[in-house]
Amino acid sequence: MALIQCPECNHNVSDKALSCPNCGYPLQPSRVPAKRPRKKHKKLPNGFGSIKKLSGNRRNPYAAYPPTTEYTEKGVPVTLPAIGYYEDWYSAFDALREYNHNPYDIDSAKLTFSDVYTQWFKVKFESEHAHLSEQSKKTYKWAYNQCRTLHDMKMSDIHKNEMQTVLNNCPLGYSSVRSIKNLFGQMFRYSLENGIVDKDYSQFIFIPIQDNNEKGEPFTENEIALLWNHKEDPSVQIILILIYSGLRIKELEVVEIDLKNRCFRGGLKTKAGKERTVPIHEAIYGFVENFSQKDFHAGTFRDKKFYKLIQSVGMEPLTNGKKHTPHDCRHTFSWLCDKYQVDDMCKHLIMGHSLGNDVEKAVYGHRTFEQLYTEINKIQA
């Protein structure tokens, strides 16, 4: 380096200076700064995987590949599918680090909600060990169809908010929303067991409406008489079966009908409801004989037959302006038990009520089938 004089102010300046530090006079032609060398990322550990920047104008140009585990016969590494594509190198590195911490099946991670549903449905209903009813199949298929917004989403991308939105937007009643929630729970359990997801988000969702299925108003004596006047109608017979048994409409799909021993077995909801035995009232025995359980679907009967039927037999709307619902049949049975002084314990056992903390009833409230049969037939038809 040598010193030169600035032509403008005669100040001594280095011959390498671009301009005079004293007066700012330019001393060298403008120089184009050298291109900054490409930043090098740290070398990844052996067996960690690799990150490649793909060519072209991409939103997520960095591909993260898992460690190579397979080789051809000539020893050439077999490249596995990328675990994902990312906006920058560091995001790809984080994904690789998470993958190495908890390796998963890459193909499984790409399965959609519909893919998982198909796999789960086959295991639950089509395996040689599956012994579930056709009605259960229909219920789950119906619930799946209510989740159309999720069908094409990757299962691993579905969290609480996506499922809760489906439940919140369902316009149907409590039991229908509960069926959708049950489907979410079963699918996430299956996904967790098979490495498709690493967390069960279905445990955080909730049913956004109250269970109002137990509310209702009994049929009056005049309304019951109207039904008996049309007892030849098979649909009216189903309503009378519900009224004189205390069964819920949905339970008609699942109970065991034992004509020989003149009873229904089973039910829904509580443990007491599922394990109960309901004697078949003498007045409806012939109706039960004619009833085709395999052709009965509670939702279809309720929506397409029940409401039209009670209007066609001449029933007027209730005093509050509402119409009777199928669950009113169960309330009618309870009212009839009280009217004809059916033993209170027998009534609870027939209806499948949980005895809760009533220790005396739970421990000493035994009743034989003969007692239940005698008590239910106190009700006059």
Quote the CA–CA distance of 318 and 331 in Å, as a whole number.
Answer: 15
Looking at the fold, whether 247 and 281 belong to one and the same domain comes out as yes
Domain-embedded: residue 94: yes
Looking at the fold, whether 86 and 158 belong to one and the same domain comes out as no
SS3 2: coil
Looking at the fold, whether 132 and 62 belong to one and the same domain comes out as no
Domain-embedded: residue 139: yes
Domain-embedded: residue 25: yes
Tell me which of 151, 174, 204 is where a domain ends: 204
Looking at the fold, whether 253 and 354 belong to one and the same domain comes out as yes
Domain-embedded: residue 368: yes
DSSP 272-307: HHHT-EEEPPGGGHHHHHH--GGG--HHHHIIIIIH
pTM, two decimal places: 0.48
Nearest to 235 by CA among 283, 306, 172: 306
Domain-embedded: residue 361: yes
Domain of residue 72: give its range.
Answer: 50-103
Looking at the fold, whether 307 and 330 belong to one and the same domain comes out as yes
Looking at the fold, whether 132 and 78 belong to one and the same domain comes out as no
Looking at the fold, whether 260 and 239 belong to one and the same domain comes out as yes
DSSP 54-67: PSSS-SS-EEEEPP
User: What phi and psi values does residue 39 have, to the nearest 5 degrees?
Assistant: -70, 130
Looking at the fold, whether 83 and 138 belong to one and the same domain comes out as no
SS3 150: helix
Q: With the CA atoms of 353, 354, 356 and 361 taken in that order, what torsion angle do they form, in degrees rounded to the nearest 10?
A: 70
Q: What is the pLDDT along the chain (381 residues), one digit of tens a residue?
A: 677 888 777 778 888 787 787 777 777 665 544 555 556 777 888 888 888 888 888 888 888 888 877 777 877 877 777 777 788 888 888 878 877 776 655 556 678 899 889 888 888 877 655 566 777 788 889 999 999 999 999 898 899 999 999 999 988 877 788 899 999 999 999 888 877 888 899 989 988 876 555 567 899 999 999 999 999 999 999 999 999 999 999 999 999 999 999 999 998 877 778 889 999 999 999 999 999 999 999 888 988 899 889 888 888 776 666 788 899 999 999 999 999 999 988 998 999 886 554 444 544 457 899 999 999 999 998
Domain-embedded: residue 79: yes
Looking at the fold, whether 233 and 255 belong to one and the same domain comes out as yes
Tell me how many domains the chain contains: 4
Looking at the fold, whether 365 and 245 belong to one and the same domain comes out as yes
Q: Phi/psi zone of residue 58: left (φ > 0), alpha (ψ -120 to 50 degrees), beta?
A: beta
